Amino acid sequence: MFSGKSTMVSAVRKPLLEQLAKAVEDGRSADVVSAIEHGLDVGYSAQELLYEGLIRGMTDIGIKFKNHEVFIPEVLIAARTLKKGQETLRSALIDEGVEPIGKAVVATVSGDLHDIGKNLVSMMLEGVGFRVIDLGVDVTAEAIGEAVKTHKPDVLALSVLLNTTLNQLMTVISYLEENSLRDHVIIMVGGAPVDEKFAQKIGADAYAKDAVSAAETAKKMIGKM
């Protein structure tokens, strides 16, 4: 029965994407690379390998993290694997003309060197399909303003971990206002000393408690969810 062919293909297709997602979740980089290479060879689109494979895996681990089933180490390892997978897919994505869902600039504010939380936020944003421009740590308001001007991101995500650098969030927001850059970007803030109330008080657009919610919120805010 020839009409059964396409059913058979999709039955085979699913397991490969599932395997890919699971390999991201488990942090098995070598398996991710070989699944992608094999997938591309046998006719999968880069887009489905990205969204239904890599990003699904990252989303799954994000959910487990939120439910306290896995912890930061497992999420970091999955994120490292995701990166590896994205690198493997890069040229295929360009060939297919796959566009990210949005652009995000991410930074830890001036005077603050904590980057673990910020990196997780970056990875989770990538994990839901954003293109992320990560400015690193200890980034001044001027440098953030410059990046907003150059990259025109949909979202600006600012991380802060110290009480002594909390006021830098205000500094950045006023700098953007003074330079007429504020209205074009959604500002999200986060980090251990920040809460919803504080975010509102300083005029940020959004706050999220953890990296998974940060990515969900960002997606919602740009109207992609």
Partner 1 sequence: MKTNIVRKEEYKARLKRVNDAIALKEGAQMPVAPLVNGLPYYLYPELGLSHRSALYDFEKAMEAHIRFHLEFEPDGIVANIMPLCAKAADYLRPTMLDWPGRAGTPLPDDSIYQMFEIEYLKEDEYDELLGDYTGFILRKYLPRSYKSLIGLEQFRIDPTCGIMDLPLSPLANPALRKALQILLDYSKDREQSDARYTALTDRLIQNGFPPMYTAVGQVPFDILSDYFRGTVGTFYDQVERPDKILGACEKFMSVEIDALSAQAGVDADVKRVFFPMHKGMDSFISDAQYRDLYWAPYQKILQYLIGIGVTPIIYTEGPYETRTAFIREKLHEFPPGSCMIHFESGDFAELKKAFKGLACLTGGVSLQMLEFGTREEVVERVKFLAENCAACGGFILDASGAIEKAKRENIEAMFETARSL
Q: State the nearest-atom distance from the C-beta of 33 to partner 1, in Å.
A: 18
- Token look-up 């205000």 returns 170
148 binds ligand B12 (CB under 6 A): no
DSSP string of 159-192, one letter each residue? E---GGGTHHHHHHHHHHHHTT-GGGSEEEEEST
Q: How far is CA 78 from CA 16, 35, 36, 84, 195, in A?
A: 18, 15, 16, 10, 27
C-alpha torsion sign, points 5, 7, 9, 12 = negative
Q: How many residues bind ligand B12 (CB under 6 A)?
A: 28
- CB of 191 closer than 8 Å to CB of 117: yes
Cα–Cα distance for residue pair 168/164, rounded to 1 Å: 9
Residue 124's contacts (CB-CB under 8 Å, 6 or more residues apart) are 58, 62, 79, 211, 212, 214, 215
* Residue number with CB closer to ligand B12 (55 or 214): 214
Give which of 150, 144, 225, 146 is closest to 188, Cα–Cα: 144
- Which of 14, 113, 136, 150 contacts partner 1 by CB under 8 A? 113
The piece of 28-36, 49-57, 82-90, 185-193 that touches ligand B12 (CB under 6 A) is 185-193
6 binds partner 1 (CB under 8 A): no
* Residue number with CB closer to ligand B12 (77 or 214): 214
The piece of 35-43, 91-99, 108-116, 151-159 that touches partner 1 (CB under 8 A) is 108-116
Which partner from the list ligand B12, partner 1, none does 225 bind, CB cut-off 5 to 8 Å by kind? Answer: none
Q: Would you give the binding string for partner 1 spanning residues 185-224, x where CB under 8 A is met?
A: -------xx----------------x--------------
74 binds partner 1 (CB under 8 A): yes
> Which residues here bind ligand B12, judged by CB under 6 A?
72, 111-118, 120-121, 157-159, 161-164, 188-193, 208, 210-211, 214
